[in-house]
Amino acid sequence: MSGKSLRVTIDYDGLKVDFEGPPGDVYIQTVRFLEKVLPAYSLASRIAKAGGVAELIEKLGDAIAYQEGEGVYPRKPYTSYPAPEAVLLFLGLRYIEAALGLRENGAALISEIVSTLGRPEKTISGRLSELVRKGYVRRLDRSSYIITGLGLSHLVETHSGA
């Protein structure tokens, strides 16, 4: 079996990669690529397609506002949105603040989300689980969450021209 060689070509949305060699090595390389590189490439593509931060702010202009001294904030109180939308909007604002250099990263602790949105922790926890299942939010650790590229796209679809 040592003389056999396997060749795998992956062509995905303009990204092309070839793996060739012993079947075991090619299998490992292929799985690593599918698990690590492809999701990062997909996220980068989605963000690039969504445009820059200024364009994102513009697209969400009916839902959010930005002022130099105050940063990014919602135009309406979070309580005026259903819980899942409020969570996505909050995490979207965190993403924008991080992109503008106003905060270190776009992640938020569940305690921050609960206190900002003014909803019970059980409600927020349940909505976060739903958003994670849909791929709109990613759980970073036990209590920290961040919006995904898919979540940003959904936010734009939901709130542009709202």
DSSP codes, 57-126: HHHTTTTEEEETTTEEEESS-GGGS-HHHHHHHHHHHHHHHHHTTSSS-S-EEHHHHHHHHT--HHHHHH
Is the domain of 35 the same as that of 62? no
Is the domain of 83 the same as that of 41? no
CATH at 147: 1.10.10.10
Would you say residue 31 lies in a domain?
yes
Taking 70 as the threshold, does the pLDDT of residue 46 lie above it? no
Is the domain of 95 the same as that of 118? yes
* Structural domain boundaries enclosing 39: 6-50
Rounded average pLDDT over 10-24: 87
pLDDT of residue 39: 67
Taking 50 as the threshold, does the pLDDT of residue 83 lie above it? yes
Taking 50 as the threshold, does the pLDDT of residue 48 lie above it? yes
pLDDT band at 50 (very low <50, low <70, confident <90, very high): very low
Taking 80 as the threshold, does the pLDDT of residue 79 lie above it? yes
Is the domain of 124 the same as that of 110? yes
The whole-model pTM stands at 0.67
Would you say residue 16 lies in a domain?
yes
Is the domain of 67 the same as that of 35? no
